[in-house]
Amino acid sequence: MRRGSCLAARCGAHANVRRRGHLGVGANRAGRWRVPAKRVKNAGAKLLLDFHYSDTWADPGRQTTPAAWTNLGFDSLARVVEAYTAHVIAQLKHEGTLPDIVQVGNEIDHGMLWPVGAIGVVGADTLLEWEHFTGLIKAGIRGVRDALAPNDSVRIMLHYSGGGNLAGTRWFFDHMSRYGVPYDLIGLSYYPWWHGTLGDLRANLAATADRYGVDLMVVETAYPWRAGGWEGFANTAAMTWPISRAGQATFLHDVRTAVVATPHEHAAGVVWWYPEAIPVPGLYVWAGGSLALFDSTGNALPALDAMR
């Protein structure tokens, strides 16, 4: 885990996120994750491990299969996903850093490991697509469980991006139920410029908790504390909080409050995406650092207190 996120743990945050791509590729080599995972655990935080199953970031518009796996058909791809996942979990367990939550895929609204595991948009999806996609998810879940002993406790999360999209969330998780995908947690993303109002999020959390009876987490969220870097996002109509340090803190407080209000005690938490994304000369930083929980010199912003 990046150092900034472990500082967040000392400031009161209770979970940190690790993200992984393919085992044999550069920055995603397994050995690079051992020390950071220990750092998270030593900080007293929970560890959430997110498998992207890609050589780069995965999101609703990009689920690129790792180069080493690109020529595999469905059966072979499912086997390698299971084996790779089990290998990573076994390594982390050996190091004493078993994740508390494992996320099988990142923002997998339209599948993962494209094209084999791709899903068409609503109305253009097919039965074969769902069979392949859910088969790959099940392979990842089997991989997690292959590496566990009976007394190990690891929760499985599935991540749909549309935190304010009730119809889309239902479409996705109804298919998970139909195809018998076993999971423990639902993760949603909530960026107001993409996912609507806070009321949309509240409505989706309530309806989803009622329908599926599992815990829910806003597993990605962010909001700007200053101008510069975020202005090109699609729709600012739902960005009703001030663009300021105080406005960012109020946003996080309001999102946390919405999640805590999830019915039937199914609230599982909130995770801020890339909290340590401060500008570094010569390097690209998401949104120019305007969505971080630290200012440009690395000092914690007031929103970090909302993690307490």
pLDDT tens profile 157-166:
999 999 999 9
The domains of the chain are located at 3-307
Q: One of 82, 107, 129, 276 is an active-site residue; which one?
A: 107
- 98: tokens are 């078993």
User: Is residue 231's pLDDT more than 60?
Assistant: yes
The whole-angstrom separation of Cα 94 and Cα 98 is 8
Query: β-strands 185-190, 215-221: how paired?
Result: parallel
The whole-angstrom separation of Cα 71 and Cα 99 is 31
**DSSP 3-state of 159:** strand
Q: CB-hemisphere CA count at 13 Å for 70?
A: 7
- Residue 64 pairs in a beta bridge with 114
Give pLDDT tens digits for 23-80: 444 334 556 677 888 888 988 889 999 999 999 999 999 999 999 999 999 999 999 9
Q: Which of 15-24, 176-185, 236-245 is least confident?
A: 15-24
- Residue 291 pairs in a beta bridge with none
Intra-chain end-to-end CA distance of the chain, in Å: 19
Which residue in 167, 180, 253 sits closest to 207, CA to CA?
A: 167
265 catalytic residue (yes or no) = no
Q: One of 82, 129, 220, 276 is an active-site residue; which one?
A: 220
Output the average pLDDT for the chain.
90
Give pLDDT tens digits for 184-222: 999 999 999 999 999 999 999 999 999 999 999 999 999
pLDDT for residue 20: 54
For 176-187, what is the mean pLDDT?
A: 98
User: Is residue 15's pLDDT more than 90?
Assistant: no
107 catalytic residue (yes or no) = yes
CATH of the domain spanning 3-307:
3.20.20.80
The whole-angstrom separation of Cα 97 and Cα 80 is 23
Give pLDDT tens digits for 235-280: 899 999 999 999 999 999 999 999 999 999 999 999 999 999 998 8
pLDDT tier for residue 12 given thresholds of 50, 70 and 90? very low
**DSSP 3-state of 2:** coil
The whole-angstrom separation of Cα 177 and Cα 164 is 21
The whole-angstrom separation of Cα 284 and Cα 228 is 13
Calculate helix-pair angle for 198-212, 166-178, nearest 10 degrees: 20
